[in-house]
Amino acid sequence: MAEQVDAIVIGGGQAGPFLAVRLAQAGMKTVIIERSHMGGTCVNNGCMPTKTMVASARVAHMARRASEYGVSVGGAVSVDMKAVKARKDKIVETSAKGLVDWIEGTENLELVWETARFSGPREITAGDRVFAAPRIFINTGGRPVVPDWPGLAGIPYLTNESIMDLDVLPEHLIIVGGSYIGLEFAQMFARFGSRVTVIEHGDRLIGREDPDVSDTIRQVLEGEGIAIHLNARDIAVSAMEGGGVKLNANAGGMSMTAEGSHLLLAIGRVPNVEALDLPSEVVTNERGYIKVDDQLRTSAEGIWAMGDVTGHGAFTHTSYNDFEVVAGNLLDNDPRRVSDRIDTYALFVDPPLGRVGMSEAEARKSGRRVLAGKMPMTRVGRAKEKGETQGFMKVLVDADSEQFLGAAFLCTEGDEIVHTILDAMAGKVPYTVIKRAMHIHPTVSELIPTMLQELKPLE
Ligand SMILES: Cc1cc2nc3c(=O)[nH]c(=O)nc-3n(C[C@H](O)[C@H](O)[C@H](O)COP(=O)(O)OP(=O)(O)OC[C@H]3O[C@@H](n4cnc5c(N)ncnc54)[C@H](O)[C@@H]3O)c2cc1C
Ligand SMILES: NC(=O)c1ccc[n+]([C@@H]2O[C@H](COP(=O)([O-])OP(=O)(O)OC[C@H]3O[C@@H](n4cnc5c(N)ncnc54)[C@H](O)[C@@H]3O)[C@@H](O)[C@H]2O)c1
């Protein structure tokens, strides 16, 4: 006999736990089912551990640059990977435990550690328990793509999950994929002291961004000694005698070989849907993502999906916003929509890239009359004072409505500064208001009004 409850949440990612607590607090008997680690990718092998390790890597980098600032650190800088991992593990474990404690301390809410699957249209089996509910919420996230390259099955390789267990410094880390995951790990491990090679299929790094962004990031990474191969095809891998991995490919029409101690796959992600045994009423697209409407309802009555498994967003803040959209509609009489949100994200290389709204390519394609402003960091006093003049700031404005269309801040503190434009866009504040605002001296943001005074039509 199925245990009858009011709501079932499948997956403890960045939407499920928060929704489960809200549903339980609203008086609904709720079950949340998680198969491995509470907090999902973000907490356990995504944002939080990577940004913790990025912080360690930046300290090593700045220590090596110490003499540029007139500071002596005495001797060569070295990195203790066991200590880096221990620091990361502590932060991750505290966060995951905090979530578990919060859930377990919430009345009306039960946490079940199992893999969940549909055993009926409104029925979920989790181990030896069966639950039935009129409302089911799927928050099962995604996992790394593992390709079928010749030789891969026979060799050890790393993903963003298994690299979290590494407590030694790779002598030479080969990374396939030059986008968000690949580039953050590339710079991090180069700064830890590894030799790093990035192999990317596209004709530039992080191909969703404008070419000036890709090119500047490439210059930064190459400047730190990272080897980059673009236009890679026909990858094949094999184990080397005595350990390590040999990778052969065609890169830009030339055959190439890289011999590394470790291989990291960072070529994209796929949704976790197979284990769910989804009922036929829940429609997925050709890539397996669960189709949802603007309020995150699936095609089946009483079943919602949130986070990466929907294919909308693929960031922690989009998954959390999905929770807010569902909670708003179900519990708060607030008709929030996914389409209300403005696209925004950051790439946490150093200097970081903060992005909001349209890229320059998208703005051109939109057919609007566009005004653009761009400022190299070599013109920004605060960047000079900090010794961090790599990168630029770029804004795009609709010439007719005077509304911001988008921005890219590839600069020191770019991941924070971008919120100036994001919040102006959220408030529908015309650029002319920000142009006249007095900003604090000396900050990077103080140059935003100056940049807005120098806008030119996009040619
Ligand atoms: C290396 C890396 C770095 C990242 N850095 C950032 C960043 O800096 N900023 C950012 O915004 N985003 C970042 N992301 C993306 C971010 O981690 C994800 O977008 C976010 O975690 C999505 O959360 P989610 O709620 O969809 O699901 P997930 O966090 O993926 O969680 C899904 C959960 O469901 C569980 N589950 C799956 N199937 C079942 C089942 N059948 N039964 C029970 N449980 C199940 C899983 O065990 C998992 O715990 C990063 C991702 C990676 C890989
Ligand atoms: N800072 C952040 O917010 C952050 C950080 C990491 C990850 N993420 C999330 O994780 C998602 C996945 O990131 P990702 O970098 O794995 O995927 P991605 O889809 O962004 O990029 C994959 C890259 O691998 C390349 N590629 C694909 N097949 C290849 C092949 N056979 N050989 C060589 N290159 C190949 C692609 O051209 C692309 O550049 C992102 O979309 C993002 O949402 C976010």
Ligand 1 touching residue 141 (CB < 6 A): yes
Query: Which residue is closest in CA terms to ligand 2's atom 42?
Result: 314
200 labelled ligand-binding: yes
Please determine, for residue 459, whether its predicted confidence score (pLDDT) is greater than 90: no
Ligand 1 atom having least distance to the Cα of 348: 8
How far is the C-alpha of 212 from the C-alpha of 228, rounded, in Å? 17
The model's pLDDT over 60-116, given as tens digits with 9 standing for 90+, comes to 999 999 999 999 998 899 999 999 999 999 999 999 999 999 999 999 999 999 999
The answer to whether the complex's ipTM is over 0.95 is yes
Least confident range from 130-134, 252-256, 372-376, 437-441: namely: 252-256
pLDDT bracket for residue 321 (50, 70, 90): very high
Query: Which residue is closest in CA terms to ligand 2's atom 25?
Result: 177
What residues does each domain of the chain span? 3-142+270-340, 152-267, 345-457
| Token pair in block for residue 50 | 């990577």
Closest CA to 169 of 83, 73, 47: 83
Active site residues: 441
231: alpha, beta or left? (left if phi > 0; alpha if psi -120 to 50): left
Section 339-343 average pLDDT: 97
For residues 197 and 253, the model is more confident at: 197
Q: What DSSP line would sit under 68-101, residue for residue?
A: GGT----S-----HHHHHHHHHHHHHHHHHHHHH
Match domain 3-142+270-340 to its CATH number in 4.10.640.10, 3.50.50.60, 3.40.50.1400, 3.40.50.2300: 3.50.50.60
Ligand 1 touching residue 375 (CB < 6 A): no
Domain 3-142+270-340 and domain 345-457, same fold? Reply is no
Report the CATH number of the 152-267 domain. 3.50.50.60
Instruction: Name the CATH superfamily, with its identifier, for domain 345-457.
Output: FAD/NAD-linked reductase, C-terminal dimerisation domain (3.30.390.30)
Ligand 2 touching residue 48 (CB < 6 A): no
Say if residues 409 and 418 touch (Cβ distance below 8 Å).
Answer: yes
How far is the C-alpha of 159 from the C-alpha of 180, rounded, in Å? 13
Ligand 2 touching residue 12 (CB < 6 A): no
Say if residues 207 and 180 touch (Cβ distance below 8 Å).
Answer: no
259 labelled ligand-binding: no
Say if residues 20 and 30 touch (Cβ distance below 8 Å).
Answer: yes
Amino acid at the residue 29: K
Report the percent of the chain where pLDDT is more than 70: 100
How far is the C-alpha of 372 from the C-alpha of 359, rounded, in Å? 11
pLDDT bracket for residue 313 (50, 70, 90): confident
| Token pair in block for residue 291 | 């189709």
The model's pLDDT over 46-63, given as tens digits with 9 standing for 90+, comes to 999 999 999 999 999 999
Query: Which of 32, 33, 34, 47 has the most ligand 1 atoms within 8 A of CB, as the residue to mutate?
Result: 47
* Res 74: pLDDT: 87
177 labelled ligand-binding: yes
How far is the C-alpha of 398 from the C-alpha of 431, rounded, in Å? 9
The model's pLDDT over 387-398, given as tens digits with 9 standing for 90+, comes to 999 999 999 999
Please determine, for residue 25, whether its predicted confidence score (pLDDT) is greater than 90: yes
Closest CA to 421 of 407, 435, 400, 437: 407
Angle between helices 81-104 and 16-25 (to 10 degrees): 20
Ligand 1 touching residue 188 (CB < 6 A): no
On average, the pLDDT of the chain sits at 97
Neighbours of 270 (CB within 10 A): 16
How far is the C-alpha of 396 from the C-alpha of 413, rounded, in Å? 19
Say if residues 355 and 418 touch (Cβ distance below 8 Å).
Answer: yes
* Res 41: pLDDT: 97
Residues 6+ apart with CB under 8 A from 8: 30, 31, 32, 33, 116, 124, 131, 133, 135, 136, 137
The model's pLDDT over 139-173, given as tens digits with 9 standing for 90+, comes to 999 999 999 999 999 899 999 999 999 999 999 99
Please determine, for residue 324, whether its predicted confidence score (pLDDT) is greater than 90: yes
Q: How many residues are given for the chain?
A: 459
By the 10 Å C-beta count (0-12 exposed, 13-18 middle, 19+ buried), 153 is classed as exposed
The model's pLDDT over 192-251, given as tens digits with 9 standing for 90+, comes to 999 999 999 999 999 999 999 999 999 999 999 999 999 999 999 999 998 999 999 999
Please determine, for residue 252, whether its predicted confidence score (pLDDT) is greater than 90: no
Section 351-365 average pLDDT: 98
**Four-CA torsion 354, 175, 167, 86, nearest 10 degrees:** 10
Q: How crowded is the C-beta side of 321, counted as CA atoms within 13 Å?
A: 19
Section 277-286 average pLDDT: 97
How far is the C-alpha of 11 from the C-alpha of 25, rounded, in Å? 19
* Res 159: pLDDT: 98
